[in-house]
Structure 1
């Protein structure tokens, strides 16, 4: 099984799109070619702003959801490294453990 990655793509109008994939370069190329996510079509030049190894698909999906809930400012902090990706992973594991126990 291939490892999964979380990535953020910046659009020309400075929006951040969050996605997951097993191959960041391939997926980013698809986005640039206008294939894949409708949210990125016609948005002009795209930039890969952030990518990070997550692990399995289930963890990637949960983390993608969690990051999509962040504010734009929090996403920018993640891109700049001011918000620790490891802390986000730890909080995700903690909340799934709480759900399992509850």
Structure 2
């Protein structure tokens, strides 16, 4: 029987230890944050964070948006990545 659970798709912004911002996409915010920080139960989980954030730990999630489809979330991720740092900071502050 097929699962009726709809998966959520998220776009998020992390603030790195060096004050830079990283934008990404995931279906599991908590797990992805752990991966970016090199945490996890397996070696592959600990090394699954983006190469960009691996040298800028710890990272903190400062913003996220939820979407019902992957395509919407990926489009939004692309749009956010094109913003300047100042524009991203305005988005984060709301």
TM-score by length of 2: 0.81
1:71 lines up with 2:84 in the alignment: yes
Inter-partner Cα distance in structure 2 for 1:32 and 1:60: 22
> What's the C-alpha RMSD, in Å, of the aligned pairs?
1.1
1:39 lines up with 2:52 in the alignment: yes
**1:11-50 correspondence runs (5 A):** 11-33=16-38, 34-50=47-63
Question: What's the offset of the Cα at 1:52?
Answer: 1.5
TM-score by length of 1: 0.75
Q: Which runs of 4+ in 1 moved over 3 A?
A: none
Higher relative contact order, structure no. (Cα contacts within 8 Å, ≥ 6 residues apart)? 2
Does the 8 Å CA contact 1:6/1:18 hold for their aligned counterparts? Answer: yes
Structure 1 runs not aligned, ≥5 long: 82-102
SS in 2 for 1:63: helix
Cα distance per residue 1:35-74 (max 9 Å; x no partner): 2210101112111111121221001111100000001000
Inter-partner Cα distance in structure 1 for 2:57 and 2:14: 12
Structure 2 runs not aligned, ≥5 long: 1-5, 39-46
